[in-house]
Amino acid sequence: MKSIESNSLKNYTKRLMKYSQYLLMGSLWVTFLSCETSVDASDLLEKEQFVVINGYLSPQDTTLKVQISKSKSRAESTVTNNVDLVINNATVTITDENDNQVTLTYSNTSFSYEVPAADLAILPGRKYFLAVTAEGKEYKSSCVIPAELVENIESEITNNNDVDSFGNKKLKLKIDDIADKRNFYIVGAKVTQTFSSGEDSVTDVDFEFEQFTTDSNRENSIVAVDGIFNEFFDSQSSKANVQVANAEEILYDALRATFLNDYNEDDPFFEPVIAPTNIEGENGFGVFAGYQLTEQEITF
Amino acid sequence: MRTKQVILAFWVLLVNVNVLFSQSNTTDSLSEKHTISGYIKESGSQEYLPMVSIYIPTSKVGTTTNDYGFFSLTIPEGTHELIISFVGYGTVKKTIELVDDIKLNIDMELSTESLDEVIIDADRGVNESQVTQMSVVTIKPSEIQDIPAILGEKDVIKALQLMPGIQRGNEGSAGFFVRGGTPDQNLIILDEAPVYNSNHLFGIFSVFNGDAIKSIETFKGGFPARFGGRLSSVLKIDTKNGNKERLTGKVNVGLISSSLLLEGPIKKGKTSFIFSGRRTYADLLSKPFQSSDFKAGFYFMDLNFKIHHVFNEKNKLYWSNYFGQDRFTGDEKSNGERFKTRLFWGNITSTLRWNHQFSDKFFSNTSLIFSNYNFGLKYDEKLNDNRFLFKLNSGINDYGIKADFDYYPNPQHSIRFGVASTYHNFVPKQSRLRATDEDNTDVKQEIKSIESAVYAEDNWKISNTLSFNPGVRVTHFNFKSKSYLNFEPRATIAWNIKPDLALKASYAKMNQYIHLLSNSGIGLPTDLWVSSTDKLKPQVSQQYAIGLAKDFFEEGYSITLEGYYKKMDDVISYKEGASFLLLEDLETGREIDWEENITTGEGWAYGAELLLRKKTGKLTGWLGYTLSWSERQFDELNQGRKFFSRYDRRHDLSLVGIYKPNDKITLSGSWVFSTGNNFNLPDREALSNTSNFPIPIGLFNTGGTTSFSTERNNFRGESYHRFDLGVQFHKKFAKNRERTWAFSVYNIYGRKNPFFYYFDDTQLKKVSILQFIPSINYTYKF
Divide the 782 residues of chain B into consecutive groups of 10 and give the mean pLDDT of each group.
Answer: 46 46 44 89 88 86 90 91 85 90 90 47 61 88 86 85 89 81 92 89 77 90 94 94 92 90 92 93 79 81 94 93 90 79 89 95 96 87 80 89 94 94 88 77 84 96 92 94 94 92 95 82 65 90 95 86 96 77 44 72 96 89 95 90 90 95 92 90 87 81 75 88 94 90 91 85 80 89 92
Pairing of strands A284-299, A51-57: parallel
Q: For residue B281, count other CB atoms closer than 10 A to its CB.
A: 16
Kindly report which listed range (A129-138, A266-275, B341-350) carries the lowest average pLDDT score: A266-275
Question: Which pLDDT score is estimated for B6?
Answer: 43
Q: Does the beta-carbon distance from B691 to A286 stay under 8 Å?
A: no
> Distances in Å between the alpha carbon of A74 and those of A35, A50, B324, B516, B765?
22, 13, 44, 34, 12
Output the pTM of the full model. Answer: 0.86
- φ, ψ of residue B240 to 5 degrees: the values are -70, 160
Sign of CA dihedral B218, B513, B432, A11: positive
Instruction: Work out whether the CA dihedral B475, B476, B477, B483 comes out positive or negative.
Output: positive
The model's confidence at residue A179, banded by pLDDT at 50, 70 and 90, is: confident
B531 Cβ partners below 8 Å, 6+ apart?
A: B424, B426, B447, B449, B479, B513, B514, B515
Smallest CA-to-CA distance from A12 within B391, B489, B364, B607 is with B391
pLDDT value for A245: 94
Q: In terms of residues, how long is chain A?
A: 300
Residue B519's nearest CA partner among B507, B529, B511, B527 is B527
Nearest-Cα distance to chain A for B124, in Å, is 46
Q: Are B361 and B333 in contact (CB under 8 A)?
A: no
- Which contiguous run of DSSP H or E holds residue A33? none
- Longest CA pairwise span in chain A (Å): 68
Whether B114 contacts B663, CB under 8 Å: yes
Reduced 3-state DSSP string for A145-205? CCCCCCCCEEEEEEECCCCCCCCCEEEEEEEECCCCCCCEEEEEEEEEEEECCCCEEEEEC
Question: According to the model, what pLDDT value does residue B44 have?
Answer: 84
Which of A222, A269, A247, A198 is CA-nearest to residue A22?
A269
| Inter-chain CB proximity B586 and A67 less than 8 Å | no
Report yes or no: B662 and B618 within 8 Å, Cβ to Cβ: no
Q: What per-residue confidence (pLDDT) applies to B343?
A: 83
DSSP count for chain A of H helices, then E strands: 2, 17
Query: Quick one: pLDDT at residue B383?
Result: 78
- What band does A34 get if pLDDT is binned at 50, 70 and 90? low
Nearest Cα to B722, choosing from B149, B206, B198, B166?
Answer: B149
Residue-by-residue DSSP string for B476-529 = EEEETTEEEEEEEEEEEEEEEEETTEEEEEEEEEEEE-EEEE--SSS--TT-EE
Going by the DSSP 8-state scheme, the letter that residue A220 receives in this structure is T
What's the confidence (pLDDT) of residue B151? 80
Q: Are strands B619-634 and B651-662 parallel, antiparallel or unpaired?
A: antiparallel
State the Cα–Cα distance between residues A266 and B757, nearest whole angstrom. Answer: 12
Picking from B461, B478, B479, the residue whose alpha carbon sits closest to that of residue B470 is B461
Query: What are the φ and ψ backbone dihedral angles of A23, each rounded to 5 degrees?
Result: -60, -45
- Enclosing H/E stretch for B705: strand B705-708
Per-residue confidence (pLDDT) for residue B715, from 0 to 100: 87
Nearest to A256 among B204, B379, B577 (CB): B577
- Cα–Cα separations (whole angstroms), residue B577 to A264, A271, B184, B503: 11, 8, 21, 47
Residues on chain B touching A255 (C-beta within 8 angstroms):
689-690, 693, 697
CA pair distance B756, B171, nearest whole angstrom: 9
User: DSSP assignment, residue B590?
Assistant: P
Strands B738-746 and B773-781: antiparallel
Nearest to B221 by CA among B260, B288, B168, B165: B165
User: What was the pLDDT predicted at A29?
Assistant: 55
Buried b (16+ CB within 10 A) or exposed e, B283-313: beeeeeeeeeeeebbbbbbbbbbbbbbbeee
> Which has more pLDDT, B474 or A196?
B474
Minimum-distance CB partner of A261 among B377, B682, B764: B682
Residue type, B657: G
Beta bridge partners of B403: B366, B419
Contact across the interface for B379 and A15, Cβ inside 8 Å: yes
CB A102 within 8 A of CB A93: yes
Q: Do B524 and A274 touch (CB under 8 A)?
A: no
Length of chain B: 782
Do B666 and B154 form a contact (C-beta atoms < 8 A)? no
How far is it, in rounded angstroms, from Cα A130 to Cα A96? 9
Tell which residue, B21, B6, B7, has the closest CA to residue B413: B21
Cα dist from A204 to A173, A211, A251, B697, whole Å: 15, 12, 21, 10
pLDDT of residue B22: 42
Instruction: Check residue B323 and give its pLDDT.
Output: 95
The reply to whether A2 touches chain B by the CB within 8 Å rule is yes
- Which of B343, B577, B592 lies at the smallest CB-CB distance from A273? B577
> With a CB-CB cutoff of 8 Å, which residues 106-145 of chain A face chain B?
110-112
Mutation target among A271, A273, A288, A296 for the B interface, most CBs of B within 10 A: A271
Q: Which helix (H) or strand (E) holds A237?
A: strand A235-247
Query: Where are any strands of DSSP class E within B171-283?
Result: 176-178, 186-190, 193-194, 199-200, 205-206, 213-219, 233-239, 248-253, 257-267, 271-280
Give the pLDDT confidence of A60-97 residue by residue, as tens digits: 989 999 999 999 888 777 666 778 889 989 999 999 99
Residues of A in contact with B689 (CB under 8 A): 52, 54, 254-255, 258, 275, 286-287
B759:A245 CB<8 A: no
Instruction: For A211-226, write each residue's pLDDT tens digit.
Output: 888 876 666 678 888 8
pLDDT reported for residue B575: 82
Q: Which residues make beta-bridge pairs with A132?
A: A92, A139
Residues 277 through 296 of chain A touching chain B, CB cutoff 8 Å: 277, 285-287, 293
CA distance B733 to B38: 35
Taking contacts as CB-CB distances below 8 angstroms, the residues of chain B near A46 are 683, 714
**Which of 53-82 (A) contact B at CB < 8 A?**
54-56, 58, 65-67, 69-77, 82
Chain A residues 227-256 with a CB less than 8 Å from chain B: 243, 245, 253-256
**B684 with B707: CB under 8 angstroms?**
yes
Choose from B697, B756, B761 for mutation: most chain A CBs within 10 A.
B697
Residue B376's SS3 state is: strand
